[in-house]
Amino acid sequence: MLLAFSTFEAFETTVLPMSDPVHYVTDERGERTAVVLPISAYEKLLEDLADLAVVAERREEPTVPHEQFVSELRRDGIV
């Protein structure tokens, strides 16, 4: 659905897989220039971005094999 917003911009509505509406602001050529999305979707994106930052910060840390990790969880009574 394309809704006229002004002579130079328009809002185009589409649907995210989770049924959250996303609105695209387009220029006079119909090129998307911005997006308007629900706060809940924006907050999820911020959370994902923060998670990725943590992953990037910890990239050089030593790793533990999965089997060792699970055995330590069992040893500590967590699993």
What are the strands of the beta sheet with 10-15, ordered from one edge? 2-4, 10-15, 21-26, 32-36
Gyration radius from the chain CA atoms:
22
pTM (2 d.p.):
0.55
pLDDT in tens, 12-71: 444 445 566 889 999 999 999 999 999 999 999 999 999 999 999 999 999 999 999 999
